[in-house]
Structure 1
Amino acid sequence: MGTAASINPRIIEGLYCESLVLSDEVRGAFALSGRIDTLAGDDDEVRLALSCEALRTTTRMMHAVAWLLNHRAYFNGELSEFQLRRYGRLTDFPESDPEKLALLPAQTCELIRATERFHARLKRLDNGWREREATAPSAIARLRERLGLAARN
């Protein structure tokens, strides 16, 4: 099994561009001016499903874009690593409700699944980055090690 790629500016920029395209598709799919009535007619259950999934999907993408913007700011020197680690965590989101998805058009369901896959990719990157850095000795541990070496010499 290969090692996970580290997060670097090139990866973040590529993902950021991808997130903007996906976010625009989400916006277009869930632009609700008249869309709910067109899709649902008089079916309240379909209206509710569309509204719930629209909110969940747009929120998922907003958090993904925010995570990417935090990393862009870090690579541009606008955030410290401490700030990024403390405030730049990607939030977990529950997957869509299969019962609600069954009421929606296939094209809308595929877009929702695409946002879930995109978010999962970012989550794996974030977790990998945090785990790799967690195994590295802390600044205090490194200082203690240096002090120990200096005391022996």
Structure 2
Amino acid sequence: MMSSGGFDLLYREGMSLIEEVAAYLDGDGRAESAGLDRDASFLYATESMRLTTRLMQLASWLLLHRAVSEGEISFEQARAEKAKVKFSALPSERGGPGWDDLPERMRGYIQKGDRLFARVVKFDRIERGEEELPPANPENGVSAQLDRLKQAFGRS
């Protein structure tokens, strides 16, 4: 992922989401949450703290990987630092009292944050050898072309 440009995309996506959410929570989110009923207001406060925590964990992970890719620190140094930051678990379900009353943008940021967080956690597990890379998608034209080139040049 690092060499394929996938990390740069993930990094930009993650940092962009972090900036968007911070601006939202500090601006429009305050205004949108002001009129919520008690249940929704409590849920908004809880979810904004959870989202902020997850995004800060993501930022730490992304910045450590960025430092490794730019040669600022070694992979071993990054691994030692990452051991200090534990990813919080994503809720298995969303909903409950007040969920439907949350501002639409807040629910959207929560969903985006959950998807990005799940991708980073999966990549982290693959990197640590806890999971294997998913098999190449034969439907993917690029993957199929690379497989053909490998066969043509006798490499597996």
Common fold: TM-score over 0.5: yes
- Aligned pair 1:83/2:83, yes or no? no
The structure in which a higher percent of residues are helix is 1
Q: Does structure 1 retain, via aligned residues, the 8 Å contact 2:33–2:44?
A: yes
Q: Does structure 1 retain, via aligned residues, the 8 Å contact 2:90–2:114?
A: no
2:116 equivalent in structure 1: 118
- Aligned pair 1:101/2:99, yes or no? yes
User: What is the root-mean-square deviation of aligned Cα atoms in Å?
Assistant: 2.6
SS of 1:28's partner is helix
2:142 equivalent in structure 1: none
Instruction: Structure 2: state its 5+ residue gaps.
Output: 131-156
CA deviation after TM superposition for structure 1 residue 113, in Å: 0.8
Instruction: Structure 1: state its 5+ residue gaps.
Output: 1-5, 133-153
State which structure, 1 or 2, has the greater radius of gyration over its C-alpha atoms.
1
Instruction: From the superposition, tell whether residues 35 and 105 of structure 1 become closer, same or farther in structure 2 (CA, over 3 Å).
Output: closer
Q: Distance in 2 between matches of 1:80 and 1:46?
A: 45
Q: Does structure 2 retain, via aligned residues, the 8 Å contact 1:57–1:112?
A: yes
How many pairs were matched up?
126
- Aligned pair 1:92/2:88, yes or no? yes
Instruction: From the superposition, tell whether residues 103 and 34 of structure 1 become closer, same or farther in structure 2 (CA, over 3 Å).
Output: closer
- Aligned pair 1:16/2:14, yes or no? no
TM-score normalised by L of structure 2: 0.68
Identity among equivalent positions (%) equals: 26
Query: Structure 1 stretches (4+) deviating beyond 3 angstroms?
Result: 6-9, 32-35
SS of 1:131's partner is coil
Q: Does structure 1 retain, via aligned residues, the 8 Å contact 2:2–2:69?
A: no
- Aligned pair 1:69/2:66, yes or no? no
Kindly provide the amino acid, as one letter, of the partner of residue 36 in structure 1. Answer: S
TM-score normalised by L of structure 1: 0.69
